[in-house]
Amino acid sequence: MLTFSPNIQSLIDSSGREAALKRAVEIKQRVNAIETELNPQKVETKVEAKFAKVLKESENENVKFRLTNQSRFDALTQLPEISQLAALKGSSNVSQNASKAQLKEMISKIAQKHGLDEKLVHAVVKQESGFNPKATSHCGAMGLMQLMPSTAKSLGVKDAYNPLQNVDGGVRYLKSMLDKYNGNVVLALAAYNAGPGAVDKYQDVPPYKETQNYVKNILSNYLSAN
């Protein structure tokens, strides 16, 4: 149940209520736009469910407090998912021609959104593409985190050369590997490079020189950044 500070406990008149509802709808539209940017195939999210709950509670005749326009906005931005998405709003305009500093800022925000160590993600991007959104490997891997076409498709990434979509998809995939290997960074990185099938087969970093150097280089970059 949401709680609010004393300054938002006053009643509002019908015109104020109408303005508050209008503001709430605008916020929902902004959230939906950001969510769609990150995942065009999304269905109803936790954000929408919580948003609906806030609206229902605020419209219920039995609620203890009716919210003012500003307080409704404050209540909504208290929801962590909305706050995280709002933080990414500026990143949606990062283009292929963005500076390295802009790309790093975007990467940090996405890593934080998914609960990953941003320095680790920076190290992966450095190894994969050297922070080049237009990078394409000899085997067809694309963008900052070098997503293969099949991987990009499975992650709902429509444009793998779009920095925001690419990193969000790559971070989600890296997180899935970390979850699979119980937080073992070495195995997760090996799986990111060689695939989880190879890691499962050898129950360790596969005996591939490329993969072994890949893991070694990322860990070196990661440790030197701390």
Q: Provide the token pair at 12.
A: 């509002």
Total residue count of the chain as it appears in this document = 226
Answer with the one of 58, 90, 122 that is the final residue of a domain. Answer: 90
Please check whether residue 1 lies inside any domain of the structure: no
Please check whether residue 14 lies inside any domain of the structure: yes
Please check whether residue 161 lies inside any domain of the structure: yes
> Facing residues of 147 across strands?
142
Same-domain check for residues 104 and 210: yes
Same-domain check for residues 71 and 120: no
Render pLDDT for 113-165 as a digit per residue (tens, 0 to 9). 999 999 999 999 999 999 999 999 999 999 999 999 999 999 999 999 999 99
pLDDT the model gives residue 38: 54
Same-domain check for residues 199 and 117: yes
Catalytic residue among 26, 81, 128, 210: 128
Q: Which is more confident, 7 or 24?
A: 24
pLDDT the model gives residue 222: 93
Same-domain check for residues 161 and 74: no
- Say which CATH number the domain at 202 has: 1.10.530.10
Residue 94 pLDDT > 90: no
Which of 166, 156, 77 lies closest to 121, judged by CA?
166
Distance of alpha carbon 217 from alpha carbon 190, whole angstroms: 12
pLDDT the model gives residue 20: 59
Instruction: Calculate mean pLDDT across residues 24-45.
Output: 58
pTM above 0.75, yes or no: no
Neighbours of 36 (CB within 10 A): 11
Q: Range of 55's domain?
A: 6-90
Q: Which is more confident, 210 or 74?
A: 210
Q: Does residue 57 carry a catalytic annotation?
A: no
pLDDT band at 81 (very low <50, low <70, confident <90, very high): very low
Distance of alpha carbon 59 from alpha carbon 25, whole angstroms: 14
Question: Burial level of 205, CB count in 10 A (0-12/13-18/19+)?
Answer: buried
Same-domain check for residues 75 and 45: yes
Total structural domains within the chain: 2
